[in-house]
Every structure is written in structure tokens, then in C-alpha cells.
Structure 1
Amino acid sequence: MLKFVFAVVISLVSLSTTAKSIVVLGDSISAAYGIEVGQGWVALVQGKLQEKYSDYTVNNESISGDTSAGGLARIDGVLSRHKPSVVIIELGANDGLRGLSPAELKNNLAEIARRAKKSDAKVLLLSMRIPPNYGKRYTEMFYNVYPQLSKELSVPYVPFILEDVALVKQLMQQDGLHPNEKAQAVIVEKIWPHLVNLLK
């Protein structure tokens, strides 16, 4: 009996030391706004991980309406709680919709990435675009933040994750800003290859 108990304890210790965490730090796009949480792209990624990367668990630290400043304010606590191997940053859309400075967005995202890297986590940056009615100059400055950061900090980024979604009515909710449940698998396919590269 003692041998059995000892074996179980060793097994549990082994699992706790090999389990790896992926944190998603995002806004409503990652928080599954307007749909069931289990239908969101983050939950779908967790499902795909079970096939080949079952030692990873996804922790969704996304809050609808959050900005890059909000993410920066939260990142230390998130890193402390989860001690992630990978941090996926999906922030910025709300900065853009509020007309905030692209320079401020860049500084906030850079600091989040630096703190994540300092904690020995790999970083994946998900880029966003904002509607064209904000003006060509502003929208370009906004989007360029992501490839610039990718180059400067040597972190991979995923081009606009709603590229094949945002202009497809059948894939968007009535507000025209948030993807519906049908769009979530499309988003996963955009992100998945980049994530797998970090897990290999």
C-alpha cells in the first residue's frame, strides 16, 4: 500500500513540474465577447494542444475593453501567478478605437514583452487593425507598431488576426467589431503555426 501511495505522489510531483503554461493577455477578442467562452479561439487552441502538446495549459487573462496600459498594469501579477512558458499578447484595438497615441501603445506593449521575456517566457504578439474611418495616417501608424516591435524586440508577430474575418459579414457579430463563433476557427488557423514554432 505504501509503495502505491509513494508512486502516486511521485507521479503527481512529476506532472506538476512538467506542466507548462501559456498565458493569453488580451481584450474582448480573446475573452470571447458575445459568445460562449468555450467557443472562443483561446479555448479552441487549448483543444488543439491536447493532440500534440498536452503538457501545455492555456490560462486566459483577457478582459473585454482592456487597453495596452491595462495589460501593462496586470502583467506582473499574471507572470507571478502562472509562471508561463509563453505569453501571447493580444492588445491594442481599444487603444486605437479611443484614438490613443501609437507611441504610447508601442511603449506599453514593449514593456509587457520585456517583462515577459525577463521572466523567461517566450512572447507572441498578435497584431490588430482599426477601422479606416480613423484616417490613413493614424491607422498605418497604429498597425506598424506590431512589426516594429517584432523587429526591435526579436519577438514573432502574427499579422492582423481578423484579416479574413473583419470584412465577412457572416463571421462578425452585429456590432461589426467582434468576431462570432464561426470566426473563431479561422482566427486559430492564423495563430496556430506561429504558436507551434515557439513550442518546438
Structure 2
Amino acid sequence: MYATIGKGRAAAMVWLLAWLLLAPVLACAKGADTRAAVLVVGDSLSAAHNIPAESGWVNLLQQRVKQQVKPVPTIVNASISGETSAGALTRLPALLARHQPSVVVIELGGNDALRGLNPAQLRGNLEKMIVASQKAGAKVLLLGIDVPPNYGPAYRQRLKEVYAGLASQYKVALLPFLLDGVALQPALMQSDGLHPTAAAQPKVLDNVWPHLKPLL
């Protein structure tokens, strides 16, 4: 009987020791899983404005990663129509804490420009978002925007320099213009002249994909 109890205790001790040794490994694996997310923080250009949600480029991105990326990351779309860089900046800390993304895609600036915001203010907000994302352990992809020609070449150039300057300073991936090949095609733009149609969304994704794929 004593021998049986001794063996039982020995087995229990072996099991406990194995658990203690494996627990950190399992915790790391769990942490890796929770970080397998791509967080998209943007405005109406990423929020499928006035088109079916399933047609938006972010939703199409989820379908593409299922086909081309293993393990498959979860795509979290935290984009809001009408969002500004200031608004997104206030939301970002909670989003980072909740989703622990491995990649943060920042698509902002259009609404700042439409409101006539000084590009220096846009730069400051985007800079804080990049720094916060990198401190949280995420890689960053910055998606640039442009405005109609009536804003003037000087303002448009300053916007362009905001994205290029941040990408260079913080060594983040950059797509200079999200709607390249789309914005000047009337058939691919909605009647407001600002938002792509559902038919344009695959092209928008094709613009993003070469810059995002290496980060996954």
C-alpha cells in the first residue's frame, strides 16, 4: 500500500514538473496566437462607405490571406466613416490592448484634409499612432491619400510629404496613394467623386497587398 502511494505521489510530481516546464511555452504560444491580427484603422475608404460591407477591400483582404498566408491572421477592421486622425488616435490605445495586433494598417488623412487641417497637425497625430503601434510590438503600414486638384499643388505636396517623411523617419511600410489607378477613373468612383465603387475594391486591395504581404 505504501509503495502504491509512493508511486502515485511520484507520478503526480512528474506531472506537476512537466506542467511547470511547459507552461511558459504554452503561454508564449498563446501570446503568439493573440498577436496574429492585422488591425486596420481608417476612415470611409476602408469602411466600405455606401457599398456592401462584404465588397470592401478590407473584407476582400480577409479572403486573400486565407488563401495565401499560413497561419491565417485575423483582419480587424476598426475603420469608421468620417474618422479623422485625431479621433483614431484617441481610439488606438484600446484597440491595441484588445487585439494585440502584429500589424497595424493606418489609412487616415482624407477627412483631415477636407476640413482644411494643417498637414503639420495630421503629421503629429499619425506620428503618435505609429509610435504607439511600434511600442505595442506591431509593424506598421501607412496608406497615403491625396485630395482633389482644387486644393492646390502646395497643399497636396505637403500632404505627400507627411506620409513620405513619417515612413522614412520610423522605417514603416508606405503605400503613397491608396487610390492609385482608381481616383481618376470615373467608372470606379461613386457619384461624390471621393469614394471608390464596389467594382473598384479589388484594385484597391491590389494596391495594398504588395506592401502588406511582407509584413505578415
TM-score (norm 2): 0.83
User: Hey, what does 1:76 align to over in structure 2?
Assistant: 93
1:95 aligned partner, one-letter code: D
Structure 1 moving runs of 4+ over 4 Å: 13-17
- Distance in 2 (alpha carbons) for counterparts of 1:15 and 1:114: 25
Say yes or no: does 1:172 pair with 2:172.
no
Structure 1: state its 5+ residue gaps. 1-12
**What is the number of residues matched between the two proteins?**
187
Q: 1:50 aligns with which of 42, 66, 82?
A: 66
User: Hey, what does 2:102 align to over in structure 1?
Assistant: 85
- Distance in 1 (alpha carbons) for counterparts of 2:85 and 2:32: 32
- Distance in 1 (alpha carbons) for counterparts of 2:51 and 2:208: 20
| Structure 1 position 100, deviation (Å) | 0.2
| Structure 1 position 17, deviation (Å) | 4.9
Asked if 2 retains the 8 angstrom alpha-carbon contact of 1:18 and 1:55, the reply is: no
| Structure 1 position 132, deviation (Å) | 1.1
| Structure 1 position 52, deviation (Å) | 2.4
User: Hey, what does 2:138 align to over in structure 1?
Assistant: 121
Q: Which has the larger radius of gyration?
A: 2
**RMSD over equivalenced CA pairs, Å:** 1.4
- Distance in 1 (alpha carbons) for counterparts of 2:86 and 2:212: 24
- Distance in 2 (alpha carbons) for counterparts of 1:52 and 1:168: 29
| % same residue | 46
Q: 1:144 aligns with which of 141, 161, 176?
A: 161
- Distance in 2 (alpha carbons) for counterparts of 1:91 and 1:62: 9
Asked if 1 retains the 8 angstrom alpha-carbon contact of 2:160 and 2:176, the reply is: no
- Distance in 2 (alpha carbons) for counterparts of 1:146 and 1:39: 27
Deviates more, 1:93-102 or 1:47-56: 47-56
